[in-house]
Amino acid sequence: MIATSCSNDSKKASIELQNVDLSAEDEALLKQLVEAIIPETDSPGAAALNLHLFVMKMVDDCHSPEDQKSFLEGLKAASKISINNTDQALAYLQGLEKEDAFMRILKRRTIQGYLNSEYVMKNKLIYELVPGRYDGAVKINA
Amino acid sequence: MANLNIDSEKNRTYDAIVIGSGISGGWSAKELCERGLKTLVLERGRDVQHIKDYPTTNMNPWEFEHRNEVTYQLKQDNPIASKCYAFQEATEQFFVKDQEHPYVQEKPFDWIRGYQVGGKSLLWARQTQRWSDFDFEGPARDGFAVDWPIRYADLKPWYDYVERFAGISGDKDGLPELPDGEFLPGYPLNVVEKYFKQTVESKYPERKLITARCAHISQPQPIHIQQGRTQCQNRTLCERGCPFGGYFSSNASTLPWAAKTGNMTLRPDAVVHSILYDEDKGKAIGVRVIDRNTKEEIDFYAKLIFVNAAAINTNLILLNSRSNRFPNGLGNDSDTLGKYVAFHNYSARIYAEYEGLLDFKTEGRNPAGGGYIPRFRNLYKQETDYLRGYAAGFGAYRSANSDRSGLGVDLKESLLNPQLGNWGVGSHMMGETIPKVDSYVALDSNQKDAWGVPLLKISIDYDDNDEKMKKDYLDTMEEMFTEAGFTNIRRDDRWQAPGLDIHEMGGVRMGNDAKTSMLNKWNQMHAVSNVFVTDGACMTSTSTQNPSLTYMAFSARSVDYAVQELKKGNI
């Protein structure tokens, strides 16, 4: 297990992870960060859709140890800044380099989780499990 | 005790044994059972029952823990299986895991396997083009392998027969190189695929682009309803197993049909060790099985044995069936067993964009996948510096994309309002490869698997012919793409190991001459009259067409012959 801090007394994250050790504070910070990427508007944002938990799950299961290390380093760096609301989180993320590994993973997974969320797939960009049709020449009404 | 043994042996005796329950074994089983033979079907993997054992079939994307992505660990543990396009969180239960079934790669070979009832028929790409005499006459005309002992006319009625039952969609295109069949309505090409068809066919009259023919029920007939199958619902989630039976698999079609006769005994978890040969009778008498779970050794007996273990495993079983009479594998008087293995060259693709027809889009999903360009190279005569030719898939798609560069409200708005972009187009090659004596599989002399069966060594490679063909494919497609006004053309000259095409064929080839081949024109062993091989192992050459439909036709034809011979007392 790799972790953002070496202290053992912090509270654990709310979901069980196998490879990365995240604390409740890490989770809270990630919640601010994902909400900054996809905020609540007239429809739910990333926090309400629990995308911080999705990001944690994907980092834990679907990334290489190198990626996990980069992610934890990025998270640790963010934790040293005072981020108490979405605006501060957004400002922090906007200050990161485009190529920042932490940012790249966080953003990619947040977007993936959002577009594949039950909410979006049922209410916004409708997913059809059973299309029952194929039309290869649908005229678009301009 | 003696009586008990006799009883026990009697209980383990059938009229016929089919080794393997995949696409060809399912057909062998169905045909044998329908002719009244008590048939034992041996499957090395677990049971998979239609619908009941498709755990992911009705899951929505958000219901997958990793949104259908394969985990890092699963990928690390399965470097071979995870190369397959169909290996996903939703489907991984139907793939053999690398570590459970090792083999020796003398040369790189990605062996993709499905050890369960139904085999790879759950996972196949469902493309079903008939062979023609341009294929069956290939080896004789171009001087490689040996002459096929059959021609299209021998197989035509059996193509008709299996197509009607399996449900094959397609158009009647009237092409001699790709004979028409008993088709359900084809899935029409989309607007850009049609545009490319017109461009290609007007500029190059000898080249055709047709709608891909596939094993999907576009319009169910009574025979499909009787199987409990219905119309394909355009889900294109096929590799999870289809609850509608919309595509053909052993699980949805042939196996339940065989079971309904009351003549089939299906035994999953039965790893075939070898075929038992009796020197006095000069025949095979049964099959030795190792129970997958208990490792118990059990012999089963029958008058007829159909080997349908999938091409490479059929080779393995025959190589491991050694006796005084056949020290180098069952029926191997010709010393060709395990040799002349070939595959399809899938090692190039090409992509581009099309900025026309932007007032059109598609809706729903196309199970046929788009268009198919039959082989046009070297068809009527040799015209290139390489032998044979390639077929090509062609598909056009138009997806909606969003700008993901921003953050916050802007990003969210952009994600929720994707814009249709240019059309994307893509093609992949399917090249015929030449079977060679030095492309072989053989038993490893030291290592055995967990069931005491020797590991298989695989030594199969591309050659110069394949390289030249690949270059021609890329050049030719690029030229046609340019002709059609496609832009941003990207040649993908990837190398992929043989095997990943999942079209491995040969090793137990058919031929007229017992001195140079293993099987006669009925897929019957020259040297052992009651053993038949009707899976990919029997193939003398590879053609460019996806091979499964031909295995089905071989299986049905071969059973018909075998049962007649059995009744006449010739077997």
pLDDT tens-digit profile of A6-58? 555 578 999 999 999 999 999 999 999 999 999 999 999 999 999 999 999 99
Quick check: B69 and A62 CB within 8 A?
yes
For an interface test with B, the pick among A51, A58, A135, A139 (most B C-beta atoms closer than 10 Å) comes out as: A135
Q: Is A116 on the interface with B (CB under 8 A)?
A: yes
Q: Nearest residue of B to residue A57 by CA position?
A: B66
Considering the domain boundaries, does residue A132 fall inside one?
no
Residues in contact with B416: Cβ distance below 8 Å, sequence separation at least 6, in sequence order? A43, A120, A124, A125
Residues of A in contact with B61 (CB under 8 A): 116, 121, 127
Q: Is B419 on the interface with A (CB under 8 A)?
A: no
Quick check: A137 and B362 CB within 8 A?
yes
Domain of residue A57: give its range: 2-123
Residues present in chain A in total: 142
Per-residue pLDDT of chain B (571 residues; tens, 9 = 90+): 455 677 799 999 999 999 999 999 999 999 999 999 999 999 999 999 999 999 999 999 999 999 999 999 999 999 999 999 999 999 999 999 999 999 999 999 999 999 999 999 999 999 999 999 999 999 999 999 999 999 999 999 999 999 999 999 999 999 999 999 999 999 999 999 999 999 999 999 999 999 999 999 999 999 999 999 999 999 999 999 999 999 999 999 999 999 999 999 999 999 999 999 999 999 999 999 999 999 999 999 999 999 999 999 999 999 999 999 999 999 999 999 999 999 999 999 999 999 999 999 999 999 999 999 999 999 999 999 999 999 999 999 999 999 999 999 999 999 999 999 999 999 999 999 999 999 999 999 999 999 999 999 999 999 999 999 999 999 999 999 999 999 999 999 988 999 999 999 999 999 999 999 999 999 999 999 999 999 999 999 999 999 999 999 999 999 999 999 999 999 9
Q: Nearest residue of A to residue B362 by CA position?
A: A136
A3 near A73, Cβ under 8 Å? no
Quick check: A58 and B66 CB within 8 A?
yes
* Pairing assessment for the beta strands B13-19 and B297-307 based on DSSP bridges: parallel
Per-residue pLDDT band at A141 (split at 50, 70, 90)? confident
What pLDDT sits at residue B4? Answer: 62
| Interval A75-110: pLDDT, tens | 999 999 999 999 999 999 999 998 999 999 999 999
Instruction: Specify the residue for token string 């044995």.
Output: B305
Residue A5 has pLDDT above 80, yes or no: no
What pLDDT sits at residue A98? Answer: 82
B113-116: list long-range contacts, CB under 8 Å, 24+ apart: B113/B310, B113/B313, B114/B22, B114/B45, B115/B44, B115/B45, B115/B46, B116/B43, B116/B45, B116/B46, B116/B47, B116/B48, B116/B268
What pLDDT sits at residue B317? Answer: 98
Considering the domain boundaries, does residue A139 fall inside one?
no
What pLDDT sits at residue B1? Answer: 47
What pLDDT sits at residue A9? Answer: 57
Q: Is A8 on the interface with B (CB under 8 A)?
A: no
Quick check: A37 and B411 CB within 8 A?
yes
d(CA B110, CA B108): 7
| Pairs of CB atoms within 8 A across A/B | 115
Q: Nearest residue of B to residue A116 by CA position?
A: B62
d(CA B132, CA B179): 6
* Pairing assessment for the beta strands B531-533 and B344-345 based on DSSP bridges: unpaired
What pLDDT sits at residue B254? Answer: 98
B308 near B19, Cβ under 8 Å? yes
Quick check: A61 and B409 CB within 8 A?
no
B15 near B86, Cβ under 8 Å? no
Instruction: Specify the residue for token string 């190039």.
Output: B348
Chain A residues 46-105 with a CB less than 8 Å from chain B: 57-58, 61-64, 90, 93-94
Residues of B in contact with A111 (CB under 8 A): 404, 411, 415
Q: Is B230 on the interface with A (CB under 8 A)?
A: no
Quick check: A62 and B187 CB within 8 A?
no
Residues of B in contact with A140 (CB under 8 A): 359-361, 420
| Interval B393-440: pLDDT, tens | 999 999 999 999 999 999 999 999 999 999 999 999 999 999 999 999
Quick check: A136 and B411 CB within 8 A?
no
Considering the domain boundaries, does residue A56 fall inside one?
yes
Q: Is A6 on the interface with B (CB under 8 A)?
A: no
Chain B residues 171-200 with a CB less than 8 Å from chain A: 187-191, 193-194
Quick check: B62 and A114 CB within 8 A?
no
Q: How many helices (H) and strands (E) in chain A? A: 6, 3
Q: Is B12 on the interface with A (CB under 8 A)?
A: no
The helix (run of H) or strand (run of E) holding residue B397 is strand B390-397
Quick check: A138 and B363 CB within 8 A?
yes
Domain tally for chain A? 1
Q: Nearest residue of A to residue B418 by CA position?
A: A125
Shortest Cα–Cα distance, A92 to chain B (Å): 11
Residues present in chain B in total: 571
Residues of B in contact with A118 (CB under 8 A): 60, 62
Considering the domain boundaries, does residue A35 fall inside one?
yes
What pLDDT sits at residue B198? Answer: 98
Considering the domain boundaries, does residue A95 fall inside one?
yes
Shortest Cα–Cα distance, B171 to chain A (Å): 16
d(CA B134, CA B122): 30
What pLDDT sits at residue B481? Answer: 98
Considering the domain boundaries, does residue A71 fall inside one?
yes
Considering the domain boundaries, does residue A141 fall inside one?
no
CA B395: distance to chain centroid? Answer: 21
d(CA B501, CA B311): 13
| Interval B242-272: pLDDT, tens | 999 999 999 999 999 999 999 999 999 999 9
Considering the domain boundaries, does residue A48 fall inside one?
yes
Quick check: A140 and B420 CB within 8 A?
yes
Q: Nearest residue of B to residue A38 by CA position?
A: B408
